[in-house]
Amino acid sequence: MISSPIQAARSLAAEIRASAVETERGRRLPPPLAAKMAEAGLFRLCVPRDLGGFEASPRLAIEVLEEVAKADGAAGWCLMVAITSSLVAGYLDDATGREIFGDPGAIVSGVFAPRAMARVVEGGYRVTGRWPFASGCQHATWLLGGAVIVEGGAPRMTTGNVPETRMMIFPAAAVTIHDTWNVMGLSGTGSHDIEINDAFVPTARSVSFFTDPRTRTGALHEFPVFSFLALSVSAVALGIAQSASDDFRRLATDKMPFGGKRTLAARPAIQTAVAEIEAQIRAARAFLHVASDSAFEVARSGVAVSIEQRAEMRLAACHATTSAARAVDLAYTAAGGSSIYASSPLQRAFRDVHVATQHVMIGPVIQELCGKVLAGLEADTSIL
């Protein structure tokens, strides 16, 4: 059991930050660093207590993710994907839960998108598919991927007349990793394609967040999974932005512009930029905390979190991510030519945060959906 996840994150922060260049160049978390994060229990943040995890609240997860992402965005992103993937534990039977999470070093990661076909067979499924964006796949011990259920040669339809999908969980050794992750930012997440070909997945190792009953009680397991994912994505973005803010202030204090007699920080325009950057980050963080805390209190009481509260959380997550990007842009621009060098952490923050903004959980479609709900208009809220 983790005694203090925040303290664990802070104790590793210096090493995570020192490894950031190696992480980016290697396009993955260095194995020794991933092992230390696992040993500290960070990957078990959302694993149920009865399986040796911390079963953290959304607020705690947000704070830990921001702390790690402040040290390095890629490390924060890998942690985010692992802890949100671990939410499948709330739908597993005891034996399967122990099989996957029983090892203290277990790390679960994967892709929610249904990019595979799962043919129904006796005792489970034969699964074939390939998933992009499999962050952390090289250090994971178990991987999961969404699949469309196929029966009798055709997709099995739900009562809503849409194809049924389930998350398939498989040991990392069963997966082929394709080296595809050559990208602008968050390079160190190792988000390569993963592929599985006609592999058997027993029924007990498949999960539907839409139709399966929860096998565990407690506020975390009552909390909406997609809301948790969106909040976690935005927490990483805020951590990147806070890092950029801190780095910019250090730079402004030390930098003497060419031909100048005062430091950059002595300029009124820079002082305004420092204030605006911090205001963007702190306001976004406050909204994120208020939205997640109020919904978690509802979940703690055993009442279903309403669509309106889900929309509020998703709006807070969208706002936090876009605000983080704006804050980083301000810091990058105000720093001048210094920020374009590979040695500057500001250029990495600039690239990383703009990759984070592309995640489907906090995209423009979600903001539009939140607006519909807030306006009292009819909307498809299934992805909330």
Q: What is the 3-state secondary structure (H, E, C) of 165-221?
A: EEEEEEEHHHCEEECCCCCCCCHHHCCEEEEEEEEEEEHHHEECCCCCCCCCCCHHH
pLDDT at residue 120, as a whole number: 97
CATH of residue 28: 1.10.540.10
Averaged pLDDT for residues 152-168: 93
pLDDT digit string (tens) for 318-339?
Answer: 999 999 999 999 999 999 999 9
Confidence of residue 2 (pLDDT cuts 50, 70, 90): low
14 and 130, same domain (yes or no): no
Contact of 55 with 171, CB cutoff 8 Å: no
pLDDT at residue 298 is higher than 70 = yes
- For 123, list phi and psi in degrees, rounded to 5: 85, 0
Domain boundary among 29, 64, 91: 91
Q: Is 18 among the domain residues? A: yes
Residue 133 and residue 20 share a domain = no
114 and 56 assigned to the same domain? no
β-strand pairing of 142-151 with 108-121: parallel
Same domain, 248 and 342: yes
Question: Do 194 and 295 fall within a single domain?
Answer: no
Question: What's the pLDDT score for residue 262?
Answer: 85
Distances from the Cα of 120 to the Cα of 93, 149, 158, angstroms: 20, 7, 15
Rounded Cα distance between 276 and 72, Å, is 23
How crowded is residue 360: how many other Cβ atoms within 10 Å of its Cβ? 14
Percent of the chain with pLDDT over 70: 98
Segment 235-255 mean pLDDT:
96
Q: Which of 207, 236, 259 is the last residue of a domain?
A: 207
In a shared domain, residues 151 and 27:
no
Residues 280 and 138 in one domain: no
Domain with 182 in it: 108-207
**pLDDT score of 159:** 86
Query: How many domains are contained in the chain?
Result: 3
Instruction: Please count the other Cβ atoms lying within 10 Å of the Cβ belonging to residue 236.
Output: 32
Do residue 186 and residue 56 come from a single domain? no
In-domain check, residue 311: yes
Is the residue at 229 inside a domain?
Answer: yes
Answer whether residue 215 is part of any domain. no
- What pTM, to 2 d.p., does this model score? 0.97
Last residue in a domain, options 146, 173, 207: 207
pLDDT for position 3: 67
Shared domain for 115 and 166, answered yes or no, is: yes
CATH number of the domain bearing residue 168: 2.40.110.10
Distance from C-alpha of 19 to C-alpha of 12, rounded to nearest angstrom: 11
Same-domain pairing of 227 and 192 = no
Q: Which of these ranges, 61-75, 82-96, 213-227, 260-274, has the smallest mean pLDDT?
A: 260-274
What is the band of 173 on the pLDDT scale with cuts at 50, 70, 90? very high
Q: Is the pLDDT of residue 131 over 80?
A: yes
Cα–Cα distance list, 39 to 2, 36, 136, 137, 269 (Å): 10, 5, 16, 18, 45
On whether residue 382 sits in a domain, the answer given is no
Work out the pLDDT band at 258, boundaries 50, 70, 90: low
Which of the four pLDDT bands, split at 50, 70 and 90, describes residue 1?
very low
Q: Are residues 266 and 301 in the same domain?
A: yes
Q: Does the residue 212 lie in any domain?
A: no
Other beta carbons less than 10 A from residue 49's beta carbon: 12
Same domain, 322 and 238: yes
| CATH code: domain of residue 341 | 1.20.140.10
The whole-number pLDDT of residue 282 equals: 98
The verdict on residue 148 lying in a domain is: yes
Is 314 part of a structural domain of the chain?
A: yes
